[in-house]
Structure 1
Amino acid sequence: MSEQSHPTPPSPVAADHDPDYAANLRRATLSSSVGSALEYFDFAMYGLMTALVFNKLFFDQSNPGIALIAAFGIYGVGFAARPFGGLFFGTIGDRIGRRWVLIATIILMGGSSTLIGVLPTYESVGALAPVLLVLLRLLQGFGAGAEQAGATVLMAEYAPVRRRGFFSALPFIGIQAGTLLAAFAFFLLNLLPEEQFMAWGWRLPFLSSILLILIALWIRARLRETPTFVVLEKHEQVAHHPIREIFTTGRAGVVVGIGLRMAENGGSYLFQSVALAFVTSTAIGLDRGIVTWGVSLGSLIGIFSVPFTGALSDRFGRVPVYRAGAVFMLVFSFPAWYLLTVGSHAVAIAVIAIGIGVAVNTMLGPQCALLPEMFGNRHRYLGVAMSREISAVLAGGLAGVIGASLLDWTDYNWVVMGLYMATLAAITTSATFLVPETRARDLLRREDAVRLSTTEKDTAYADAEPSPTLAAQKEA
């Protein structure tokens, strides 16, 4: 393989002067960002629709409380499929490369989302309606199970070492953009008369997913394989059995990765969906269209806070910045849910915006580089996928079901929701003490960082001479 075919990150100083590498870094950033935007547009839209639309259109309305729980149950089904998708596509990504997996996942994930827009409702086909919704959510989740892991690994392996935190966080602006786009689309849809919105308006955002799919496919078809995987292929070190490795040598990293994600992922979906269901219920009675602006404002803040905290992790380390976000959510949990009960639109918008934009995204920023740095090169894709998607089930997927159940069982008591969120934050805070600092870790190392002694230090920066890793990449 020639250097022209697979441009690799040169030394930190030379990176800015290598046009071929710079072009591929931009392409990788754009490719990952569009995929992230599509995934989170779909999931944010589904979360909004679950709390306010799907529970009414796809289920028997004789018991509205049960219908809401069932709707969030199907919301969780998509998360249940994600670990299997992560396992399947993560294995392929570690065996044949990152690029082709990202093409497959965007087709599967986006196609399923588009088809949701043409589903018949309960009134039309009865019990078949939720069955079809479950099927598409399973396919959507299966594809999404490797999408974010692939974007995370792709950018970490392309980014300049000194600025890996910042560059790895850039594609995750797509998460904020997708969420912001979903909230804005939902706001516009709410301008429709209620009858038209419930009849056909809710379908439009899902049908529009086809546009993002086409854009992402065009970009990813031109994407080149990552430098670290090229080196693995050159030295014939590609793992033939990454599943075996991840459940033996990589198990500790996966467990810690799951813990790190509990507050970030769970908190995100609690603020985006359960909090909306809470404040728009008859117990609080706020207007759904107005409160949705809290999600929009939080996502707008995230466009800046995610790369900012990623850059902070380049300077101060991944772990301190991540821990700061987890502790903030821990402290914020009870005041946040209490303030949601006061019945003020402005207060509810502020709480949701701070929860998403500050608490959640202060963890997401450093996480973009931290998770790939935690795993060795032979099973990095699978390790990141398993960490992300198992936690997505335990935190994000169950957040809606547990949250809706707690609200129904306790007559919308804010204390139990504060306790639930605080528990997730406490788990993540504890997990930050189990991972060593990974900033600037050599991504060609085959061992996982979590298996190392916390006193062992990785080589930080090679200021005088190119590192052996970079030399090997250059040779490839």
Structure 2
Amino acid sequence: MKKRPVTKAAVIGTALEFYDHALFGLGAAIVFDKQFFPAETPLAGTLGSFAAFAVGFLARPIGGVVFGHFGDRTGRKPMLVMTLLLMGLSTAGIGLLPTYDQVGLVAPVLLTVLRLAQGFGAGAEYAGALVLVAETSDPRRRGLWASLPGAGVQLGLLTATLVFTAVSALPSFETWAWRLPFLLSLVGVGVGLFLRFQVQESELFERERARGVSRFPALAVFRRQPRVLLIAFAANAPFGAIGYVLNVFVLSYVTRTLGLPAAVGLSAKLLASAVAIAVTPLFGLLSDRIGRRPVFLGAALFLCAFAFPMFWMVDTGHPGLVILAITVGYGVCVAGMFAVLASLLTELFDTRYRYSGVAIAREWTAALSSGPAPLVAAVLVAAAGGASWPLALLVAGCAAATAFAVLLAPETRRRDLTESVGKSSARAGAVI
């Protein structure tokens, strides 16, 4: 199978997923509190917006299990088509919702329902794209190729921020223009479907299907690779919390707590995403040369040390320092860890339940840590009277925890994906 069509379809589809996902985070931080919650209680509106954001993560583990199950039994490609449709249509639906002033409590209820649908589709979108690219790539450059859907993530975040920033400058932004970025998701759905229908199924999966697929892949991965799954859980949970504190909550912190214009936070997100697009494949390529663990640990430990200086820079209120801090923290450190996790996760799990294993490891931890992270951060800052030290402590602690988890993982750089973990581990001298 040619790598280029597969990679292009995976990257574009993942970009759309995170475009949709980022839009909801931006809306929750800037506009949803006014549109879908009572205007008389601003704090309640902010908490309600982030609660709706977090609710979407409750559906992601279910979506991960369902789509991962069928992805390991019927194929990677059909699941990627279905997740793309579900994500895009639910996002466009948000752009058509009535406001609280129009329908009262029905508005936040409808917002939550569509967020749940969005989360259900997202539960296996990135995992499926990651698995398909990894299974069709050159083993010597798997770190590079597997990191490219991660660059698609950043492309989606960048596009969402650009579009949202553009419409936020319109005088009609808070009346109707905020809906435009959500409706534009339909364009991405069309492009993504066109590309994904041209992709062939993974040859690795086809060989596995010929030998007989697992009846219940999600149960099999718990039974056959429990330690691998535990390591993947422990690495993903704190990492996800870091990403959503820096990518979602900090925007609210900059505007609501520090009183800076929304353009400052949005500019920080733009530059951070642009830098992340550039450095993600570089980190992936570096992991092909020196190993997955050294690259991941380097990025995680640097972020652990940088956490407090990062928020000191943010607290100065100087736009340049705010943008620089978020760019280094998210655009370099988080992007570096994310790039390496791509190949590490796919190499940890066997082919017969790789889709389920990656989806479960990512999405169950997302429900536990990623989704609630902005809400927890908001509560911590409120309890500290607006101080940022709880945020710095949270980021540093999570960076240390994810580094420790990866220390327990085997080095997977030279893993042969056609073999089971037991065989490849014995040959490499690793114990999993």
So what's the TM-score if we normalise by structure 1? 0.88
Alignment of 1:170-249 (within 5 A): 170-193=148-171, 196-234=172-210, 236-249=211-224
Look up the match of 2:374: 400
Distance 2:380 2:300 in 1: 23
How far is 1:166 from its partner? 0.5
Alignment of 1:436-475 (within 5 A): 436-447=410-421, 456-457=429-430
Change (3 A) 1:175 1:101: same
Of 145, 156, 170, the match for 2:123? 145
Counterpart residue identity of residue 377, structure 2? G
Distance 1:59 1:252 in 2: 44
Larger Rg: 1
1:380-415 deviation per Cα after TM superposition (whole angstroms, max 9, x unaligned): 100000111112122320111101111222221111
Contact 2:245 2:377 in 1 (8 A): yes
Look up the match of 2:6: 28
Change (3 A) 1:304 1:50: same
Distance 1:425 1:295 in 2: 20
- Runs (5+) with no aligned partner, structure 2: none
| Alignment pair present for 1:378 and 2:356 | no
Instruction: Give the ranges of 4+ consecutive aligned residues of structure 1 lying more than 4 Å apart after TM superposition.
Output: 451-455
Distance 1:217 1:176 in 2: 20
Distance 1:448 1:183 in 2: 44
- Runs (5+) with no aligned partner, structure 1: 1-20, 459-476
Contact 2:254 2:260 in 1 (8 A): yes
Look up the match of 2:391: 417
How far is 1:275 from its partner? 0.7
Change (3 A) 1:127 1:40: same
Look up the match of 1:268: 243
Of 139, 147, 158, the match for 1:169? 147
Look up the match of 1:102: 80
Look up the match of 1:302: 276
Give SS of 2:98's match: coil
- Mean CA deviation greater in 57-66 or 300-309: 57-66
How far is 1:270 from its partner? 1.1
Cα RMSD after superposing both structures? 1.7
How many residue pairs align between the two structures?
A: 431
Change (3 A) 1:453 1:436: farther
So what's the TM-score if we normalise by structure 2? 0.96
Distance 1:57 1:233 in 2: 49
The structure with the greater share of residues assigned to helix is 2
- Mean CA deviation greater in 152-161 or 253-262: 253-262
1:9-68 deviation per Cα after TM superposition (whole angstroms, max 9, x unaligned): xxxxxxxxxxxx3xx311110111111111111111211111110011111122211211
How far is 1:457 from its partner? 4.9
Contact 1:37 1:176 in 2 (8 A): yes
Contact 2:20 2:87 in 1 (8 A): no
Distance 1:452 1:162 in 2: 18
How far is 1:126 from its partner? 0.5
Counterpart residue identity of residue 155, structure 1? V
- Mean CA deviation greater in 351-360 or 147-156: 351-360
Look up the match of 1:467: none
Of 69, 94, 98, the match for 1:91? 69
